[in-house]
Structure 1
Amino acid sequence: MRYRFSRAVLAAGVAFLATVPAHATDLEVTHWWTSGGEAAAVAEFAKAFDATGNKWVDGAIAGSGDTARPVMISRITGGDPMGATQFNHGRQAEELVQEGLMRDFTELAAKENWTGLINPPTLLQNCTLDGKIYCVPVNIHSWQWIWLSNKAFADAGVPVPKNWDEFVAAGPALEKAGKIPLAMGKQAWQQSGALNVLMAAIVGPETFLKVYKDKSADVAGGPEIAKVFKAADDARKLAAKSNVQNWNEATAMVIGGQAGGQIMGDWAQGEFQVAGQVAGKDYTCLPGLGLNAVIATGGDAFYFPKLDDPEKSKAQEALASVLMSKEAQVAFNLKKGSLPVRGDVDLTTANDCMKKGLEILAAGKTMQWTDELISPDTTQQMNDLMSEFFSTPSLTAEAAQARFAEIIGAAD
């Protein structure tokens, strides 16, 4: 469902804010970064903010963004706002901004020249509504990767695949060796994410945008997307015995050599790093599934609810500035596995997989992603469909595609 806010709720929120006692420079920051790699990364932001004399009060919410976002939104609309909160930049906080609940950082952005620093420009555009800037993008996270266990393929006696087609072909050998070919958590966002990664890889950005940007039901129901649903059917067969829930549990299967690979965003790199694994030696990464080396310029951003507390408001500005600083950008993104939003930072210490992403970004092979193109309501419908598809073998690829085309035709 979409998040609609009544005037009564907003009025209650304003009344509550007036009674909140000030805690000077303590600033609660909510996010859903709770895996090992994520926790190591967010600690870099906290350390940099604390160095300003303020205090980062960590408000991590266990689970995925799908779990955390309703909690965050409920707090903001219910009169219990945090100092700052993570969202994916795009449309997730659109209605909160429209209702006047979020701070405008246009002045700070102009003072610090964010327009000149942030690359690509779409990152800042995704924080902009009616010409005003309402969030601070902190990374470029791309979904379009498959992570492969070199050990699993060595145990199976087959070469590490160079693309998705070779990966599918290696499935029987992996199963014979006692491996799960494709590790995948049983959460809807992971399953719909896999479909979208397959779409970008198999039919390319142009067709992807015809579906999600132009909302073409004809394309969504056509022969090109039929290839994508055929690949999704292959993926669910390869993942049939993957009995984990969370994405990082699936990543751990790849790290341990119990699974051949995982379709997951570049945030998986943080887990490999925490485990002491080396890109190119212990694991292999294929951007665009080895078929179409493009990355989406989605990612994470921080939004700042309006607070009726001058000290906390100053702390919000200090945090926004820290998030955009060179030092924090490098420290955070090296541990997160994502790319920095600043185009002027030194990443010579990046690992092989991050360097692949940087090369793709430098070549301009980027695309918009679903967070930017469809509403939370449409996203939820997609998640529900793909959850059913991956858990119901009797739901054919053809029937699922027909329902997918209906969702796209009605999308906003």
Structure 2
Amino acid sequence: MTTIPRLGALALACACLSARAGDVEVLHWWTSGGEAKAAAELKATMQKKGHVWKDFAVAGGGGDSAMTVLKSRVVSGNAPAAAQIKGPSIQEWAREGVLANMDTLAKAEKWDELLPKAIADGLKYKGSYVAAPVNVHRVNWIWANPEALKKAGAKLPTTWDEFFVAAEALKKAGIIPVAHGGQNWQDFTTFESVALGVGGADFYKKALVQLDAATLQGPTMLKVLETFKKVKGYTDKNAPGRDWNLATAMVIKGEAGMQLMGDWAKGEFVAAGKVPGKDFVCAAAPGTAKSFTYNVDSFALFQLKNTANQKAQQDLASAILSPEFQESFNLNKGSIPVRLGLKLDKFDDCAKLSAADFVATAKTGALVPSIAHGMAVPSATEGAIKDVVSQFWNDDKMSPAQAQGRLVTAARTK
């Protein structure tokens, strides 16, 4: 007789648990080694809360493929709970009326106090939160293999003149000077670091954020384009189409000396068991030590009809900004926490340098959004400029002056 109430209680408990648990489908493009480890942290966090994680990973470092898939899903009325979207694209999706208002959660957990205002503003639409930020990436990094530099008798460059001296020395030593993947977003990543290093933060903002025609047409931009094209001469013939993490692997193995890439590259070094300061070195890209181009990964949260799934979505957003997740995720990803005030005891010297520069440049005005990574201008404008940059990179017959003219035209794209 006593077993029946127990079974009833057990059934009731199971019913309650199933009522609380929901599906949380997350679209992202974290598929390389370090990134996959980081994504697994989020999955584990949600599973501990009893929810069913549905991984919706679409390979392709820049996220272009993922956005194509997402559009078809949203149009068909089958949006995921969250999708990796950032920068002005968040507002573009919000204008379509498909994102969920997260203000109740954000106010309860005091997001306005936890996040820098510049970051928080980018996660809102008409004053309401519609996305949750995961991290802050610094884009303007140079990564190098110290053994390769030593073999070539070269030093880590701090200016573009020094960069070409080091590249020439590596070339003479039989080492590929610059590991590069010939994809348009990688070309653009290199381009913006050159622009920041050659022209400085004020030039960068005028040219690549405000899209000021006079600045785009000026002599500094011409020098940027000349310097950018000179970098290509130190890449290898197999670069076209190479994924960024395979380029990083070339530096890890010592096949190449240097790579210009955001700090997600550090995740690859760490995943390979390499130690910063010993097996690899990190520094601001040439000429950019006092500037910081930021790329904030965030998840836009889509409107859902199912109550359990809505609860799972709220738990996802809450988990993303929790101190525990911010620490574990960013240790794997190579980025730094977006949440202010966290201790960085477990983070390496590259991350500590990044965090210090992030705070310092926010005060000086040299904290600038990455145009290459969707943080600076609307996606249509970014795409047009990106196309010009890659055409110039790949076409040896196009002069810097011709590329400059095309940039001015591309900047007018709406």
Using the size of structure 1 for normalisation, the TM-score is 0.90
State the Cα distance separating 1:186 from its structure 2 match: 1.1
- On the 8 A contact 1:202/1:292 being kept in 2, the answer is no
State the Cα distance separating 1:132 from its structure 2 match: 1.1
Cα distance change on mapping 1:289 and 1:77 into 2, 3 Å: farther
**CA separation in 2, counterparts of 1:301 and 1:160?**
32
**What is the one-letter code of the residue matched to 2:352?**
K
* 1:139 matched residue in structure 2: 135
Identity level (%) = 36
**CA separation in 2, counterparts of 1:293 and 1:164?**
15
> Are residues 1:52 and 2:49 paired?
yes
266-275 or 391-400, larger mean C-alpha shift:
391-400
**CA separation in 1, counterparts of 2:405 and 2:268?**
37
Deviations 1:235-272 (A, max 9, x none): 11112435251110111111111111111111111001
State the Cα distance separating 1:369 from its structure 2 match: 2.8
State the Cα distance separating 1:100 from its structure 2 match: 1.0
**CA separation in 2, counterparts of 1:143 and 1:160?**
18
- Structure 2, unmatched stretches of 5+, are 1-18
Cα distance change on mapping 1:210 and 1:220 into 2, 3 Å: same
* 2:177 matched residue in structure 1: 181
**CA separation in 1, counterparts of 2:161 and 2:145?**
16
* 2:245 matched residue in structure 1: 248
- On the 8 A contact 1:374/1:411 being kept in 2, the answer is no
Aligned equivalent of 2:316, options 284, 297, 319: 319
- Structure 1, unmatched stretches of 5+, are 1-21
* 1:167 matched residue in structure 2: 163
376-385 or 158-167, larger mean C-alpha shift:
158-167
Q: Secondary structure at the match of 1:285?
A: strand
> Are residues 1:76 and 2:74 paired?
yes
- On the 8 A contact 1:187/1:246 being kept in 2, the answer is yes
Q: Secondary structure at the match of 1:203?
A: helix
* 1:379 matched residue in structure 2: 382
**What is the one-letter code of the residue matched to 1:353?**
C
**CA separation in 2, counterparts of 1:405 and 1:73?**
29
> Are residues 1:407 and 2:403 paired?
no
**What is the one-letter code of the residue matched to 2:64?**
D
> Are residues 1:228 and 2:229 paired?
no
State the Cα distance separating 1:61 from its structure 2 match: 0.7
* 2:30 matched residue in structure 1: 33
**What is the one-letter code of the residue matched to 2:267?**
G
Q: Secondary structure at the match of 1:34?
A: coil
**What is the one-letter code of the residue matched to 1:48?**
T
- On the 8 A contact 1:84/1:305 being kept in 2, the answer is yes
**CA separation in 1, counterparts of 2:71 and 2:193?**
28
**What is the one-letter code of the residue matched to 2:40?**
A
Q: Which has the larger radius of gyration?
A: 2
**What is the one-letter code of the residue matched to 1:237?**
G
Alignment of 1:276-355 (within 5 A): 276-355=273-352
**What is the one-letter code of the residue matched to 1:369?**
S
Deviations 1:201-229 (A, max 9, x none): 22111111111332211100101111211
- On the 8 A contact 2:167/2:234 being kept in 1, the answer is yes
Aligned equivalent of 1:198, options 188, 194, 201: 194
Cα distance change on mapping 1:322 and 1:385 into 2, 3 Å: same
Cα distance change on mapping 1:228 and 1:292 into 2, 3 Å: farther
State the Cα distance separating 1:23 from its structure 2 match: 11
Deviations 1:29-53 (A, max 9, x none): 1100000000011111111121111
Q: Secondary structure at the match of 1:92?
A: helix
Deviations 1:120-155 (A, max 9, x none): 211110011111111001111121111111121122
State the Cα distance separating 1:344 from its structure 2 match: 2.1
* 2:6 matched residue in structure 1: none
Paired residue total: 388
State the Cα distance separating 1:107 from its structure 2 match: 1.5
Alignment of 1:5-154 (within 5 A): 24-64=21-61, 65-87=63-85, 89-118=86-115, 120-154=116-150
Q: CA RMSD in A?
A: 1.7
**What is the one-letter code of the residue matched to 2:389?**
M
**CA separation in 2, counterparts of 1:159 and 1:128?**
44
- On the 8 A contact 2:291/2:357 being kept in 1, the answer is yes
- On the 8 A contact 1:136/1:323 being kept in 2, the answer is yes
**CA separation in 2, counterparts of 1:23 and 1:83?**
16
125-134 or 366-375, larger mean C-alpha shift:
366-375
Using the size of structure 2 for normalisation, the TM-score is 0.90
State the Cα distance separating 1:378 from its structure 2 match: 1.1
